[in-house]
Amino acid sequence: MLALTSTRKRMVDTQIAGRGVCDPLVLDAMRRVPRETFVGPEFEEFAYEDGPLPIGEGQTISQPYIVALMIEAAEVKTGDRVLEVGAGSGYAAAVISRIADRVYAIERYPSLAEAARRRFRELGYNNIDLRVGDGTKGWLEAAPFDAILVSAGGPEAPPALKQQLAIGGRLIIPVAEDERGQTLLKLTRKNEDDYETVDLGAVMFVPLIGEQGWAENDRYPVGNHVAGNDGPRQQPLQALPKMIAEAAEPLPEFDDPAFGRMFDRFADRRVVLLGEASHGTSEFYRARAAITRRLIEAHGFTIVAVEADWPDAEAIDRYVRHRPARAGAEPPFQRFPTWMWCNTDVDAFIGWMRAHNDEVAPVQRAGFYGLDLYNMSASIAAVLGYLDRVDPKAGAVARERYGCLTPWQKEPSTYGRAVLTAGYRKCERTVIEQCRALLERRLDYATKGDESFLDAVQNARLIASAERYYRVMYYGGAESWNLRDTHMFETLEHVMEARGPTCKAVVWAHNSHIGDARFTDMGIREELNVGQLCRERFGHDAALIGFGTHAGTVAAASDWGGEMEVKHVRPSHRDSFERLCHEAGAPRFLLDLRSREPLRQHLLEPRLERFIGVIYRPETELLSHYSRASLPQQFDALTWFDETSAIQPLGPEHARAGVPDTYPFGL
């Protein structure tokens, strides 16, 4: 319960107050009402996400921000009598009841009304009257009302509701203008016959069915569906796919040199960030490999920085740059999800990197670097191994400092709970002391092997970041995400500093890391990411290239730590950017988003975008894998593959003959 209370407060601070709702009565009420009570048990984990949720009968509980916006617009205050039409789960009525003197709610579905009444009783909200009926006709015997809020879209404001407003009363209602969507209107009654109307902006709600609304069997112009509910109005879908098709540049096959040349337009950047819409799609890996080969061969890029842990990637780096393997080191990428890097597409790419590096001078060889911070155990081993070689006394001190982390090296996600007990906060101090000690001896240690020192100090930084990450992860929220992405960005900076002022880097990471967070729902949650930090640090010298797909198969698990499965990707949602690209009709293309007018202007409006990680749950896809984003602000370009296929994990049959002692995957 404490965790949900904290999450609710964070929702109000970021999603509601952060968007401009400032009425203290509304903010206080939103903090007090437990939204998880008003959804089914299967949706409790999503209760404080920034979106609507299904509640049965084809209806939804509205997006929290929209609930707060409507209540604030209605100027609900202490002593008011308020009517809510379309009560649904009862959530909005419950919030209003924490402010107003009396709330009258109408719901046309008996099952939803009964569930809402039960919730009101359990919460002790005794100032709400709810009945089943036609909300478009209002509640005449309880009128007049100081405020009326309608949680469904009608063709116009029902005359009955307007007449039931008190003089000075406010009616908030979504009204359909045409087939493109709805406008949220505020009508204030000035006298018996005059109403002042204010446009509050574009929205999308389920239909208002009733005698003074839409008929039950009408072809409702907006559509009765969850996605897009309460969201911004979309551009006409039939026009946008055509515009995308006209701007799309067809991509050749991966092994055609012309594929890589398509991305020469970004070759003058210091950093080119290549995304992926999932961690288990072969086309994304193969495309990034083809682009990266071109950037290395033709344009002098020497850094490949990936969303992988430093010690694991360092084993690959030793192999591709013909450096000796670390004595006694385990094969890399043995932790979940092994398939993310131990797959045939990565195998082919690192084989190419090794062959390429064999033909160039050591200083010009392209390196393979990990940006992430999960593998704390391997990083501790790497630091201790380095110090044992160059400074055994310092190694003994480091062992003592890292001792407090020993119980959690194999399962660091449990560390956050341990921190709550006395004595374990000392780990934070000791790991920082160890990192500082390494940095203070950088000149002494650098004379004993610069590459080894960079590896050791970066592992020390990883341990310090990971200690804090697993500590704050226990509390949830934006801090753990921000710490992780800041660590990844700073690691990229350290690598670029080590490789020299003229070096250029390619970054491989998920779209959620390389697309600018400020122009997605992440920004609303006060989350930042590597793409945003690169834009802020490098400006025009950073190129952010996203990847997307409509359907196909993907390698993913159902739960963290679960077995890899080949899953079918559901066709993209009809309100998503992916559906627009699919309807453009081209199987694969590059869409340059920097100066494609008027297409860019039409795509600026936030729409749904799909994010599949190492976990994929098709049954809850809309809630667990879609978020809103402004595509042209999030990315500089989009690489599109309409139908994609799952990556193939490496197995014994893929072992490389003749290199059993040096090949990093240990096959």
- The mean pLDDT of 317-345, rounded to a whole number, is 86
618: which DSSP letter?
A: G
- The mean pLDDT of 394-416, rounded to a whole number, is 46
Cβ–Cβ under 8 Å, residues 597 and 241 = no
Q: Which residues of 255-282 are buried (b: 16+ CB within 10 A; e: fewer)?
A: eeeebbebbeebbebbbbbbbbbbbbbb
Chain CA centroid to CA 442, Å: 37
- The mean pLDDT of 194-212, rounded to a whole number, is 87
- The mean pLDDT of 240-265, rounded to a whole number, is 94
Packing angle, helices 450-473 and 310-320, rounded to 10? 150
Q: Is the pLDDT of residue 230 over 50?
A: no
Among 170-184, 302-316, 349-363, 591-605, which stretch is predicted with the lowest mean pLDDT?
A: 170-184
- The mean pLDDT of 26-43, rounded to a whole number, is 91
Maximum CA extent, the chain = 91
Structure tokens at 304: 């490949």
Q: Is the pLDDT of residue 407 over 70?
A: no
CA distance 644 to 651: 22
Helix (H) or strand (E) holding 85: strand 81-85
Which of the two residues, 609 and 432, has the higher pLDDT score?
609
Give the model's confidence band at 660: pLDDT under 50 very low, under 70 low, under 90 confident, else very high. very low
Give CA separation, 10 vs 13, 99, 475, in Å. Answer: 5, 21, 12
CA distance 85 to 194: 22
pLDDT above 70: percentage of residues in the chain: 77
Tell me the backbone φ, ψ of residue 468, rounded to 5 degrees. Answer: -70, -40
Quick: pLDDT tens for 490-522: 889 989 988 999 999 999 999 999 999 999 988
Parallel/antiparallel/unpaired status of strands 607-610 and 626-629: antiparallel
CA dihedral 139, 141, 147, 153 (to 10 degrees): 10
Parallel/antiparallel/unpaired status of strands 588-592 and 607-610: unpaired
Tell me the backbone φ, ψ of residue 241, rounded to 5 degrees. Answer: -55, -35
Give the model's confidence band at 233: pLDDT under 50 very low, under 70 low, under 90 confident, else very high. very low
Residue corresponding to tokens 């627009």? 580
- pLDDT number for residue 479: 67
- pLDDT number for residue 404: 43
Can you spell out the DSSP letters for 551-569? EEEEEEBSSTT---EEEEE
- pLDDT number for residue 10: 84
Half-sphere exposure of 595 (CA within 13 A, CB side): 0
Give the three-class secondary structure for 305: strand
Structure tokens at 385: 């191994």
- pLDDT number for residue 593: 93
Q: Is the pLDDT of residue 486 over 50?
A: yes
Half-sphere exposure of 634 (CA within 13 A, CB side): 30
Q: How far apart are the first and last CA of the chain?
A: 47
Give CA separation, 174 vs 199, 265, 447, 641, in Å. Answer: 10, 45, 70, 37
Q: Which of 503, 387, 394, 511 is nearest to 449 (CA)?
A: 387
The average confidence (pLDDT) of the chain is: 82
pTM: 0.65
Which amino acid makes up residue 660?
A: P
Helix (H) or strand (E) holding 542: strand 542-556
Which of the two residues, 281 and 226, has the higher pLDDT score?
281
Give CA separation, 646 vs 214, 377, 567, 616, 653, in Å. Answer: 45, 30, 8, 12, 18
- The mean pLDDT of 340-347, rounded to a whole number, is 95
Which residues, other chains included, contact 615 with Cβ-Cβ below 8 Å and sequence gap of 6+? 556, 557, 558, 559, 560
Tell whether omega for the bond before 598 is within 30 degrees of 0, i.e. cis.
yes
Which of the two residues, 667 and 371, has the higher pLDDT score?
371
Cα angle at 70 between 64 and 72, to 5 degrees? 100
- The mean pLDDT of 215-235, rounded to a whole number, is 42
Neighbour tally for 71: CB within 10 Å: 27
Q: Is the pLDDT of residue 234 over 60?
A: no
By residue count, the chain amounts to 667
Q: Is the pLDDT of residue 640 over 60?
A: yes
Q: Is the pLDDT of residue 418 over 50?
A: no
CA distance 63 to 286: 38
Per 3-state DSSP, what percentage of the chain is helix, strand, and coil (rounded to 5)?
Answer: 45, 20, 35
- Catalogue all structural domains in the chain, each as residue range(s) with its CATH number: 2-203 (3.40.50.150), 235-301+504-647 (3.40.1660.10)
Neighbour tally for 78: CB within 10 Å: 8
Quick: pLDDT tens for 253-262: 999 999 999 9
Cβ–Cβ under 8 Å, residues 325 and 311 = no
- pLDDT number for residue 275: 97
Quick: pLDDT tens for 440-456: 554 454 444 555 656 66
Residue corresponding to tokens 């033709």? 298
- pLDDT number for residue 226: 30
Structure tokens at 628: 């809103």
| Residues identified as active-site | 62
- pLDDT number for residue 393: 66
Give the model's confidence band at 477: pLDDT under 50 very low, under 70 low, under 90 confident, else very high. low
Structure tokens at 541: 């010298």
Q: Which residues of 95-114 are buried (b: 16+ CB within 10 A; e: fewer)?
A: bbbbbbebbbbbbbbeebbe
